Structure 1
Amino acid sequence: MRPRLPSVAPINSFYSKLLVAIVGAALCFLSLPCVQALNNGVARLPVLGYNTWNAYQCNIDEDLLLTTAKLMKSLGLQAAGYNYVNIDDCYSERNRSASGDIVEDKVRFKGGMKKLNAQIHALGFKTGIYSDAGWFTCAGYPGSYQNELRDAKTFQDWGFDYLKYDNCAIPYDSITRQGIVGRYQRMYDALAQLASTSRKAPMVFSLCQWGWSQTTGDIAPAWNSLADIINFNSFITQATDFYGRNDLDMLQLGNGGLTFEESKSHFTAWALMRSPLLIGTNLSTITPEILGILTNKEILAINQDDVVGKSISPFRWGTNPDWTSNSTHPAQFWSGPSKYGTVFMLLNTHNEPSTLSFNLTESPWIRAGRQYYVRDLWAHTDNGTAVRNFTAQDVPSHGVVALLLKDAGDEPDGLFPACSVWWQCTDKNGTHVGG
């Protein structure tokens, strides 16, 4: 299996002329063919939900999916906004039917996908399914190449709302005569055709293309894996906005291998970079501490901001010179806009506690000469007013500080020096302001 990449909103469920779109902002940044997701209201915000692969891989059946949906409801995850229950690879028979259709596994999904979807929908969730742009899926089950329209109709008839589309078992170049975008274009076209003829609600189209993805391999419940993904994504944050997201792969909280502080950092980075948040944890063993992280309402509110869709971005790398790629020590100082104020993430990438300090105006979203109310998004406390600088003392190893700063008016009069970045300023007579 490979990382799951960008979620897109292919079609609009409210208009007769329904279209599909492939997300492509990451492609633009990497100088690959540039395509844009449609501004059509579908999947405008990051998807929140559950995916079976990380916790169960191929060990899935209808009882597990229904139990997971019920747990999401009883644990309060649905109330927190997690509203998708997604099946990953291995749900089908190894071979298509005599008529050429994908068939659900007759033992593990003996009741059929239609019945399972109806049960999960009745609990208030949407559902997702998985396929591949090649001959086979990554686990060796039937892929959708040359069967795109047939499979899209099957998934729609089964009742799915979301399609994750992988990139294994690619046909020879002499067969496809296409590159990355062209292979996905085939399902793009199939979904568009299906939507225009069926008049049914469209599926979200989620691309998994690990050749130009944000990760260098499958995510693992280990700090080195998280740091590597954060480092890679730090250079393409501008590719995220409404309808197209840099998907950082599934959430590994609760799968072992991460400390509590690392789990907080994991969730904070994914959420504030506006990634889809797909839980990959065995919910029957989830701890109250991990559940508390996943349901942090203030962090989730930033992820689901309906006014500002942009990711946070680094304004200073910290350990390394700015714009330095380092898979073990990614950027430490991040900020971005939101409808609530300016969001900051301070990440301690070291193996010991660190004090992290910055000048407020290092962030492009902060105005010079102003002071700011400080809200701690993990402690859920108001921490006074910041003037010019902010310091977080003793941030735990691999830990995080998440802040929301709101304008509190002009900074106090008479501060010395006259500029927060004093060496950049001069008096109108030409003299430096002094340090």
Structure 2
Amino acid sequence: MKRISLLAVMIFTFLISYSQQLYVKTFGDPHHPAIVFIHGGPRGNSVLFEGTTAQKLAGRGFYVIVYDRRGEGRSSYDNAKVTYGEAFEDLNGIYKKFHLTKASLIGFSFGGLVTTLFAEKYPEKINAVVLTSALFAQQATYNHILDSVKRIYTRKQDAIQLKKITDVALLDKNSAAYRKECFALAAENGFFKAGQLSDEATKIYAAYEASDLSKKDIRNDQAPGLFYKNEKLVNIDVRPILAKLKSKGIAIFGLYGKDDGIFSSEMINSIQAIIGAGHFKYLDHASHYLFADRQDAFLNSIAAWLQETEPHINGPRVYGARPGKAFMYTIPATGKRPMTFQVKHLPEGATLDKNSGVISGSVKEKGDYTIELIAVNKYGRSAKTFTLVIGDKLALTPPMGWSSWYSFGRNVTLDKVIRTAEMIRDKGLQQYGWSVIEIDDPWTKQPGKEDSIWTKLKQKTGTAYSYYEGPDNLPGRVGQVRNENGELIPNQYFTDIKAFPALMHKMGFKAGIYSSPGPLTCGGVAGSYGYEQTDAKFFADNGFDYLKYDWCSYGSLAKNESKAELIKPYRLMSDALQAQKRDIIHALCQYGMGNVWEWGNESGGQLWRTEGDITDNWHSVYGAIRKLADKAQYVKPGNWNDPDILQIGVVGAQSEGEAKRNHLTPDEQKTHFSMWCMLDAPLLIGANIELLDDFTLGLITNEEVIAVNQDALGMAAGLKTVLPDTVEVWSKPLEDGGTAVGLLNAGDKAVTTTFPFSAVGLEGTYAVRDLWEKKDLGLFSKEISITIPSHGIVLWKIIRKKAGAAR
């Protein structure tokens, strides 16, 4: 079969044998790893999976094949016996039709039995088995259902239903009637439904029910009877088979929902013991149809388990360092480990650690050095052209990483930060470019309340904004703030602060640190006022790569908020940093005072806060977005507007002492991340990584969305127009000639809108790609229509195509 376009959808019907017509639909690129979804039954079909999940799974880099078995769903019923043997013929026909040597099989419900038995018979055709709400011990399932509903009806004192249970228990346990009645009792008591659906799952089901596909939920009521008439293996336990398959080296994975009432805890424990804890997930708020109930968890699990094994290099195509200054850059690459790295044409003075992918050293001569990055594992090779720019600019693309403030607030410790770095590495985030680990306030000591600084700051005579906390707000972090050499003394929770950068570098991360131009930070511990040279040397000598420099108490010393007064402390620290032997990115934090976007580059910094601290509510996030609607002209490589740390995932420690919530809806979080990428904002995760859920993980590992932010052209999006239905049109040009477009619905209701290409100055025919869905939408002329949820966004990449067919 010739190659089709990425994420294309193809529908086939073809003859398997005995004139059986089989319905098959494919999603994605046939050169990607193949996954075949095997539906439940007998009497089932693949409609729900096809309508809710197949395309999104293809978007994770798979070639997804869904089909209906003969005698079921949309396939031919003629002469079907609905046996396992026929199911094997169907699968073998699919392997032949699509030229599959091996594939991973997702066995859903009864499809889990089909999958297991097929894998037993044809192990050479299996990459992996993924049991999804899969049956594996039929009689144990029936017993659990009857015992569970008996307890329910006993509590209700329902004599009629209790009599029914007794009658069902007397039926032939190898009969279609017995199976039917057991599952009917389960359905009547909500065993197949999640107790509490998330907003996202509710939307998934609603969209499915409103679709034309839901009307094709065709079921053959005769199929169960045929199965029990013609098949001998009608009540089986495949756990011994699964154990045998695992012993032969076949990868087996399991996904089950905690709200799925047809499996007892003992059954779940038994199947997990066979599969292994590392290959098994037992999901909260998910029942039988967990691929819709917890779609993000389902997709992330499949991607983590079965993802393309070949390397793929992510990240920007450019990096900046100063001549003769120490720097480091970790090549971000996804793919199976172990992986080794190579670099061709690396300039003199720079070296590569082939195992970690860390490029480090110092290059004396200015210039643009074109090099080739290469990642290799046993499955393949990935290469990327990359430019190392040795000049006077740092941060040629927006910094990416994590900050402790919204995660741990004033309770931050070095141990918590190191553990977070380990989790970021272990979750694979580093492979997408998340590289800075920044220790925020408060890591130094607070002066005792008798110290004269408290009185001095209260004697403020100027008009500039000032903020600091204390004294007595940080028990356990109070004491002498500097040693005899004038160096900052870390508090008891950061005694090994000097070892932190080396540890981060060993892990492939950049080390970030925090201070203030004032005598006190915002939290009320020692800042850098009067010790700028000493602190810059301390940071550089110990290997720090990134400094967040927070205005805080300096406002008590500044005369006013004139441009000269605002620039002064930041220029002082920038000069001190540039005098060191190491490159350190300088992040200004002064809340947008004095229109910092107009002069931030004059201060010597690379990024500057344009806003006060934002929080996890829509008004705060949307306000920060709109503030930058007309400020794209101030953004360029090495000059970044910073609307604050990302409020996605579990945050809130800055106000509540620990991160434990997020008040943004999933759509709002997606809009938040999308717009930070469109605005070329620095991307610092604020979430507690230990509490990172699958939805958030899916946001921050979408390499196509991140690529918008890391585009080497370095041009931020601006608000181009507002459509008549109040949908905002944002766009930014990309280095490859494409245009990134974000359609933002700030309203309180979903909107269906038509986007004219002319709104962003485009005319002609364009290929449109949905970056969140990783889906090519096709060729369009002049306009495209879309429905956008409240506070939601669609994010597209639009590329000009030559004249041809268009929708």
TM-score, normalised relative to structure 2 = 0.43
Confirm or deny: 8 A CA contact 1:10 1:203 kept in the other structure: no
Residue 186 of structure 1: aligned partner: 572
Unaligned runs of at least 5 residues, structure 1: 1-8, 19-37, 321-328, 416-435
Q: 1:96 to 1:175 in 2, by over 3 A?
A: farther
Confirm or deny: 8 A CA contact 2:436 2:510 kept in the other structure: yes
Q: Aligned partners of 1:310, 1:268: CA distance in 2, in Å?
A: 15
Confirm or deny: 8 A CA contact 1:344 1:403 kept in the other structure: yes
Letter in 2 for 1:79: Q
Q: Aligned partners of 2:777, 2:543: CA distance in 1, in Å?
A: 48
Residue 60 of structure 1: aligned partner: 412
Letter in 1 for 2:569: R
Alignment of 1:193-342 (within 5 A): 193=579, 195=580, 200-210=581-591, 211=593, 212=595, 215-255=610-650, 256-306=662-712, 308-318=713-723, 332-340=728-736, 341-342=738-739
Q: 1:232 to 1:386 in 2, by over 3 A?
A: same
Alignment of 1:30-179 (within 5 A): 40-94=392-446, 95-105=481-491, 107-110=492-495, 112-170=496-554, 171-173=556-558, 178-179=564-565
Q: Aligned partners of 2:752, 2:410: CA distance in 1, in Å?
A: 44
Residue 388 of structure 1: aligned partner: 782
Confirm or deny: 8 A CA contact 1:10 1:204 kept in the other structure: no
Q: 1:261 to 1:39 in 2, by over 3 A?
A: farther
Q: Deviations over 1:289-345 (max 9, x none)?
A: 110001111011111112x1101111103479xxxxxxxx8x711111112411100
Shift of 1:157: 2.1
Confirm or deny: 8 A CA contact 1:134 1:167 kept in the other structure: yes
Alignment of 1:363-382 (within 5 A): 363-364=760-761, 366=762, 368=763, 370-382=764-776
Confirm or deny: 8 A CA contact 1:387 1:411 kept in the other structure: no
Confirm or deny: 8 A CA contact 2:754 2:786 kept in the other structure: yes
| 2:799 aligned with 1:406 | yes
Q: Aligned partners of 1:98, 1:373: CA distance in 2, in Å?
A: 65
Q: 1:53 to 1:17 in 2, by over 3 A?
A: farther
Letter in 1 for 2:619: N
What is the aligned-residue RMSD (CA, Å)? 2.6
Q: Deviations over 1:182-206 (max 9, x none)?
A: 221111221222x2xxxx3210111
Q: Aligned partners of 2:744, 2:719: CA distance in 1, in Å?
A: 11
Secondary structure, counterpart of 1:58 in structure 2: helix
Q: Aligned partners of 1:176, 1:104: CA distance in 2, in Å?
A: 31
Q: Aligned partners of 1:117, 1:344: CA distance in 2, in Å?
A: 38
Shift of 1:215: 4.7
Q: Aligned partners of 1:319, 1:247: CA distance in 2, in Å?
A: 30
Q: Aligned partners of 1:180, 1:157: CA distance in 2, in Å?
A: 28
Q: Deviations over 1:345-380 (max 9, x none)?
A: 00110111012322101203x2x2x20011000111
Confirm or deny: 8 A CA contact 2:514 2:548 kept in the other structure: yes
Q: Aligned partners of 2:796, 2:560: CA distance in 1, in Å?
A: 52
Shift of 1:239: 1.2
Q: Aligned partners of 2:365, 2:777: CA distance in 1, in Å?
A: 51
Secondary structure, counterpart of 1:410 in structure 2: coil
Confirm or deny: 8 A CA contact 1:176 1:183 kept in the other structure: no
**Which shows bigger deviation, 265-274 or 150-159?**
150-159
Q: Deviations over 1:237-264 (max 9, x none)?
A: 2211101101111011112111111111
Q: Aligned partners of 2:691, 2:365: CA distance in 1, in Å?
A: 45
Q: 1:17 to 1:372 in 2, by over 3 A?
A: closer
Confirm or deny: 8 A CA contact 1:62 1:109 kept in the other structure: yes
Letter in 2 for 1:235: D
Q: Deviations over 1:8-62 (max 9, x none)?
A: x8955246699xxxxxxxxxxxxxxxxxxx9635211110100000111111112
Q: Aligned partners of 2:669, 2:559: CA distance in 1, in Å?
A: 45
Q: Aligned partners of 2:684, 2:560: CA distance in 1, in Å?
A: 34
Secondary structure, counterpart of 2:615 in structure 1: coil
Q: Aligned partners of 1:264, 1:175: CA distance in 2, in Å?
A: 39
Larger RCO, structures 1/2 (Cα 8 Å, 6+ apart): 1
Higher helix fraction (1 or 2): 2
Shift of 1:100: 2.3
Secondary structure, counterpart of 1:64 in structure 2: helix
| 2:741 aligned with 1:344 | yes
Kindly tell me the number of residue pairs found equivalent between the two proteins.
367
Letter in 2 for 1:385: L
Q: Aligned partners of 1:336, 1:355: CA distance in 2, in Å?
A: 23
Letter in 1 for 2:735: K
Larger radius of gyration: 2
Shift of 1:125: 0.5
Q: Aligned partners of 1:359, 1:317: CA distance in 2, in Å?
A: 11
Q: Aligned partners of 1:43, 1:169: CA distance in 2, in Å?
A: 27
Q: Percent identity?
A: 33
Shift of 1:208: 0.8
Q: Aligned partners of 1:375, 1:97: CA distance in 2, in Å?
A: 57
Q: 1:39 to 1:346 in 2, by over 3 A?
A: farther
Shift of 1:267: 0.5
Letter in 2 for 1:315: K
Secondary structure, counterpart of 2:711 in structure 1: coil
Q: 1:191 to 1:250 in 2, by over 3 A?
A: same
Secondary structure, counterpart of 1:253 in structure 2: coil
